[in-house]
Structure 1
């Protein structure tokens, strides 16, 4: 089970995460986020990182801007965390570098019918999307530190490998055993921070080791 650390802003922390082989590095290109990466790093700094798993997170951004940032920062994946519809995803896929993957986020709140409806719409886009990502619904688009009811995932057919996000911590990872279809990766953020964008690296290391042990048990 792979790990994605999202909301990265500090170059020394990113280099450490690379050194102990964190699988995906998440950079938020949403200006309203307290973890907006361009307040801390330049495009060239992101581009120069020795990683082939750089994920750019976008919220209701224009396609042309996504492509421009993706090419300038040499991103490997685009994560769509807003209300992007099927037509948007199809057009993005056509214009984006074929080697750059797309991760589509489905935000889960209290309405199961809404989740099912979103999945039905996306089911026709299997060739355009590399992965899904399930996160807790929120007006601030992620980083809430709150989990949704993971049992919802056992009630739906998930057409793609998926990232699990939203309040994941050392305390709740044992609940992964209750999921019928296990996540491809776990996406961690606010539960592993000292403050927004400043990661607790020791806690992340402990989490990585715990995931390895927990996965063996599962």
Structure 2
């Protein structure tokens, strides 16, 4: 008799990022999307405060509201988390370990931290950067997020080489981002350690911030 425990491979959760429209947000909530991403980076075409107020964001009744920040000041992050009633802080810039430790100390204990690791085209640089981050003992971090590197800090719609992740022991659950679509979702099979969640954005838009809800519905049935 085989007494080995059965390992269940649950499908990854889903995060839709770059949200700007309240009606689309409500549709995504009705679809049971797990994470809602709001970009608080002024240089982004999906900068949420150009479209929605803090009051509107804070009124959204959802457990997975993620604020995306890029090299933002500590006090500004803390203020926005409080005003928008965010559940998670996603750090998409070059935030140091010391910065993250201090943020964790000042942040509401119930709020989670997602640290982005941007993966570029240079194989050697990729591996060194990933190894350095994963070995830096970022204990205050709850999740990692691997995304395609770009000067614009995300939203490229391009996929990096996922197989590079197989060379590392990733100590935390992670989000996978960067050009994810119906066409490449089957390629998740190449990953030894499967993602905790998929993060979709520009591939599911008709224009920046305007989501194709029907396409997201179809994608949700695939993953």
TM-score by length of 2: 0.92
In structure 2, what is the Cα distance between the partners aligned to 1:145 and 1:33? 14
Q: Could you tell me which of 130, 142, 147 is aligned with 1:130? A: 142
- Residues 76-134 of structure 1, C-alpha deviation per residue, up to 9 Å, x if partnerless? 00000001011111111111111100000000002344344444344343420000000
2:199 is aligned to 187
Tell whether the 8 Å contact from 2:97 to 2:138 is kept in structure 1 after alignment. no
Secondary structure of residue in 2 paired with 1:147: coil
Q: Which runs of 5+ in 2 are unaligned?
A: 1-11
Residues 1:82 and 2:93 are matched in the alignment? yes
Q: Aligned pairs, how many?
A: 211
Alignment of 1:26-45 (within 5 A): 26-45=37-56
**Higher alpha-carbon Rg:** 2
In structure 2, what is the Cα distance between the partners aligned to 1:197 and 1:209? 22
Residues 1:5 and 2:16 are matched in the alignment? yes
Residues 1:105 and 2:116 are matched in the alignment? yes
Question: Between Structure 1 and Structure 2, which shows a larger proportion of helix residues?
Answer: 1
In structure 1, what is the Cα distance between the partners aligned to 2:99 and 2:127? 20
- Residues 162-204 of structure 1, C-alpha deviation per residue, up to 9 Å, x if partnerless? 0000000000000001100000000000000010000000000
CA RMSD of aligned residues (A): 1.1
TM-score by length of 1: 0.94
Q: Could you tell me which of 48, 53, 58 is aligned with 1:47? A: 58
In structure 1, what is the Cα distance between the partners aligned to 2:101 and 2:127? 20
In structure 1, what is the Cα distance between the partners aligned to 2:96 and 2:128? 12
2:190 is aligned to 178
